A and B are shown apart, each in its own frame.
Chain A
Amino acid sequence: MKSVSTEMTKRTFARKADVSQAVLALSATLKASPELAALQAAIQSVNTDHEAQAMLRQIRTLQTGLYWRQGDPTDALALRELQTSLEARPSIQSYYRAEQAVREMLQAVDAVISQAAGIDFAANAKTSCCGG
């Protein structure tokens, strides 16, 4: 029994190492894709867009105030206007476009993984508060 158990453990470890290796190989291939490079560049642009950063800080302040009901009733309107202005900024528009391209690529990748695995990968990989 002992030798069987040891053999099973060895086989399990080998399979988990296979998964880790496959994750690393897929990560490397994805990281070399133009879609992911564009997203990283877009994130960098948003981070160096000082006006966008100031707007994001204002938005967070207004959201916190509204959440704790500390804000003025006009804050909700100011928040909506700020969000509209932020979304119109070229850096944010580029970010949304780059994120959408990565989303489409990862959804296609996930369909391939899921078909080979026999189970929907991303849909079942989501952790939830209720263990579902």
Chain B
Amino acid sequence: MLSEELIAAAQALGRSLRATREAQAYFEAQARLQLDPEAGPLDERLSSLYEELTARQRAGEQLAETEVDKFYALRNQVQSQPLITARDSALSQLKSYLAQAAADLSNNLGVDYTALARRA
């Protein structure tokens, strides 16, 4: 159970992160992608196929070559989609910014914030 003071401080950090240029650029890129009738479903198909294949691999299944080829073909198609690459680029910049904020938090606390706070 977190104290009210801790919740307020965490909310303030979250709100300030949301207001950064990096976060706004990512949200806008993601919104443009989701509204696009071609790129949006393509992105979702790749994500769900990736989740499915990695889950099966984790369960010990040996994937058929045709399935892996299908995944890479879809990934190539996705990587040539400008809206998807724009979103990925915005996310990459946002991640760098978040990593810096988390590193500052870790330095102040003397513990690795990212390692401890990540949920499995």
Binding site for B on A (CB under 8 A): 12, 15-16, 18-27, 29-31, 33, 36, 39-40, 99, 102-103, 105-110, 112-119, 121-127, 131-132
Contacts and interface: CB of A to CB of B under 8 A. Distances in A.
A108 B10 CA distance: 10
Contacts of B98: 119, 121, 124-125
B21 interface: yes
A60 B59 CA distance: 33
Interface string B21-47: 101001100000000000000000000
A109 B10 contact: yes
Contact of A23 (B11, B13, B27): B13
Given A15-B19, A118-B18, A124-B94, A26 B10 contact: yes
Given A19-B17, A113-B17, A126-B114, A121 B102 contact: yes
Contacts, number: 144
Contacts of A21: 16
Contacts of B16: 15, 18-19, 21-22
A114 B118 CA distance: 11
B12 A109 contact: no
Interface centre among A26, A39, A126 (most CB of B within 10 A): A26
The 6 residue pairs across chains A and B that have the minimum distance between CB atoms: A116-B14, A27-B108, A125-B102, A112-B10, A110-B117, A106-B117
A26 B9 contact: yes
26 contacts: A19-B17, A20-B104, A22-B9, A22-B12, A22-B13, A22-B16, A23-B105, A24-B108, A26-B6, A27-B104, A29-B9, A30-B9, A30-B109, A106-B113, A106-B116, A107-B117, A109-B2, A113-B10, A116-B18, A118-B18, A119-B23, A124-B91, A124-B98, A125-B98, A126-B99, A131-B92
B75 to A, nearest CB: 14
Interface centre among A20, A29, A99, A115 (most CB of B within 10 A): A29
Contacts of B18: 116-119
B35 to A, nearest CB: 17
B15 interface: yes
Nearest to A25: B9
A31 B5 CA distance: 12
